[in-house]
Amino acid sequence: MPEYKAPIRDIQFVLHEVLDSEKRYAELRGDEDVNRELIDAIVEEGAKFCENELSPINRSGDEEGCGFDNGAVTTPTGFKEAYKKYVEGGWPSLSSPEDVGGQGLPYSMGIVMSEMMGTANWSWGMYPGLSHGAINTVEAHGTQEQKDVYLSKMIEGTWTGTMCLTESHCGTDLGLLRTKAAPNADGSYAITGTKIFISAGDHDMAENIVHIVLARLPDAPKGTKGISLFIVPKFSAKEDGSVGEANRVTCGSIEHKMGINANATCVMNFDSSKGFLIGAPNRGLNCMFTFMNTARIGTALQGVAAAEGSFQGSLAYAKDRIAMRSLSGPKSPDKDADPIIVHPDVRRMLLTQKAFAEGGRALTYFLAEKADIAFMSKDDEAAKEADDLMAFLTPIAKAFCTERGFESANEGVQVFGGHGFIREWGMEQIVRDTRISMLYEGTTGIQALDLLGRKVMLTQGQLLKNFTKVVHKFCKDNADNEAIAHLVEPLVKLNKEWGDITTQIGMKAMQNQDEIGAASVDYAMYSGYVTFAYLWARMAKVAADKIAEGSDDAFYKAKLQTADFYFKRILPRTRTCVETILNGGLDTLMDMEEDNFGFY
C-alpha cells in the first residue's frame, strides 16, 4: 500500500508563491494574525495527522468495510479513534467563523486540509467532510435558534451532518422527489420518505447526526419550485445541548459499492421524523445551491487526491522495480536490469500523474482563493467578480479534475503492471475509490451541461469572457518573458479559440438546442485543458523567476520541466476536442433510430 507523504513543498508553493495567500488573508481579515508562519504550521501539523492517523487505516478500512446490524452502522477499526483525535486537534472548526465557535480561518485553509485527508484516506475524510454542507446551510439560512442548537455542535465536530437529497426514482432530477413534510401543531414538520446514496448517513463516530433534507409541503407546486429544506436530527436536542430521544430516523441498509467501502453510503428512512423548516417554504433548492459551488470544489479535490496518491505510489515503485534495460544503454550496470523509471513510457505515465495532481491542486486552491474573496471581502465589486469566476470554473474543476484523477489512478495500476491489479499494493483501491467522484454532485455530463448551457450560453458568454480576460492579461504581461514564451504563445491562441468555438456552438444551438448537449462534455474537457495550461504557465513563471534570481532549488527546475511536458504532451488533446465539438455533429448522435442501437 502506498505510504502517503503530504506534498508540503508543493502546497506551500501554490499558497505562498503562486497565490500569495498571506497577503490576501491580511487584506480580507483586516489583520496580520494569519501569517506565513501560522499557515505553514497548520499545513505541517495537518500533514502529520494525515500521515500518522489516516493513511495507516486506509487499506484496512477498505478491506473491513462498514458493519450494519439492525439499523446501526459501525465504522472500520481505528476510524472512531482517528475521529476523536481529529476533534481534539480542533480541525473541524478550522474555517468556521469565530462568532459561532470556529477559528475564523479562510475557507482555503480548510481546502488544504481536505486535500491531505482525502489523499491519505478518502473514505474517512468523507465523514467530517459531509458536515460542511450542513454547516454552511444552517449558517446561511437557519434561524438564530437553529444556529444556537446545531451550529456549534457541528463546528466542534461533536455532531456531524449530511445532505439528504437523492431518491431512488429521481437521482439528479430533484423535481421528481416525493418525500413529504406535514405540518405539526408545534410548528415543526413530520418528514416521511426514503433517501438513497446518503454518504455518512449513519455511523458510530459522533453522538448525533444532523440531516439536511429536501421534502415537499402539502400544498407545494410540482417540480423544483415546490421543494423545501428541513433540519432533521437523528436525535432530538435538549436545551442543555445534549442529545435526547431518537427521532424516527433510521438507516434501512448500506450500499455494497465498487469503492469507498469504509464510508457508509446509506438508505435513510424518515418515518414521521420531526423536522424544522430552514429557509423559506418551497425555496429549498435555492438554499441548497448557496453551497453547491463549494461542494463541487470538494469533489474536484477527490480527483486531485487520486492523482497525487497514485503518483506517489507509482514513483516509489518505478524507482525500485527493475525490469529490462534502457534502449540507450544500461543505466544501472551493477543490477540485473534497470529501474523502470528509466523507460520513456513509464516516465510518460508518471509525468501525466504529476501534471494532473499539481495542476489540479493549483486549480482547486485558485478556486478556494475566489471563495475566500466572495465570502469575506468587504468590497462588493471584488466579491461579485470572485463569485462569477468561481461559478464559471467550478463545473470545469469538478468535471475535469475527477476525470483526469481517474485517468491518473489507472496509470498507477499500469505502472505497477500485474502487481497493480493485486489488492495488497493499494493501487486498485485508488481506482475503485475515485470512480464515484465522476458521479458525485452531478455527473460529468451534468457538469458539462451546467458549464456550457447555464454558465456560458445563458450569460451570453459573459462568464467565459471574465476568465479569458484574466488569461489574456497574464499573456499580455508576459509577452516579452523569454523564459516562458513557448508557453505563452500557444496559450494566447487557445484563449482566442475558446471564444471562437463557443460562438460556433451558439450559432448551431440557435437552430437546435440539442447541439449544446452534443458538444458539452468535449467542451468541458477542452475548457479544463486550457484552464490547466493557464495555471501551469503561471507556475512556470514563478519558477523561472526564482531561477533567474539565482535559486538552484531543483523544485523549480522540475516545475518548468513538468510545465513543458504538459504543454507538449497533454495540451494537444485540445485538437481532438475541437474536432469532436465542431465536426462530430449532432446528427452522428441523434440520427440512429432507437431500435437500431442493438440487434440480438
Give the catalytic positions in this structure. Answer: 441
Partners of 216 in the β-ladder? 180
Phi, psi of 556 (to 5 degrees): -70, -40
Task: Check if the beta carbon of residue 110 is closer than 8 Å to that of residue 295.
Answer: no
Phi, psi of 535 (to 5 degrees): -70, -35
What DSSP state is assigned to residue 181? E
Report the C-alpha gap between 588 and 74 in whole angstroms: 50
Task: Check if the beta carbon of residue 2 is closer than 8 Å to that of residue 312.
Answer: yes
What three-state secondary structure class fits 208? Answer: strand
| E strand or H helix at 367 | helix 344-376
What three-state secondary structure class fits 34? Answer: coil
Q: How far is CA 37 from CA 16, 32, 45, 391, in A?
A: 11, 11, 12, 31
Residue with cell 429536501: 214
Q: Is 325 exposed, middle or buried (0-12, 13-18, 19+ CB in 10 A)?
A: middle
Which cell goes with 57? 487505516
Which cell goes with 313? 505510489
With CA atoms as reference, report the closest residue to 231 among 292, 178, 287. Answer: 287
Report the C-alpha gap between 332 and 339 in whole angstroms: 8
* Strands 208-215 and 159-164, sheet pairing: parallel
* Strands 159-164 and 72-74, sheet pairing: unpaired
Report the C-alpha gap between 178 and 157 in whole angstroms: 31
Q: Is 221 exposed, middle or buried (0-12, 13-18, 19+ CB in 10 A)?
A: exposed
Give the 3-state secondary structure percentages of the chain, helix then strand then coil, rounded to 5: 60, 10, 25
What three-state secondary structure class fits 210? Answer: strand
End-to-end CA distance of the chain: 44
Amino acid (one-letter) located at 99: D
For helices 292-320 and 107-120, what crossing angle results, to 10°? Answer: 40
CA angle 288, 190, 72 (to 5 degrees): 80
With CA atoms as reference, report the closest residue to 230 among 182, 264, 159. Answer: 182
What three-state secondary structure class fits 274? Answer: strand
What DSSP state is assigned to residue 306? H
Task: Check if the beta carbon of residue 528 is closer than 8 Å to that of residue 400.
Answer: yes
Partners of 193 in the β-ladder? 270
Radius of gyration of the chain from Cα atoms?
24
Q: Is 194 exposed, middle or buried (0-12, 13-18, 19+ CB in 10 A)?
A: middle
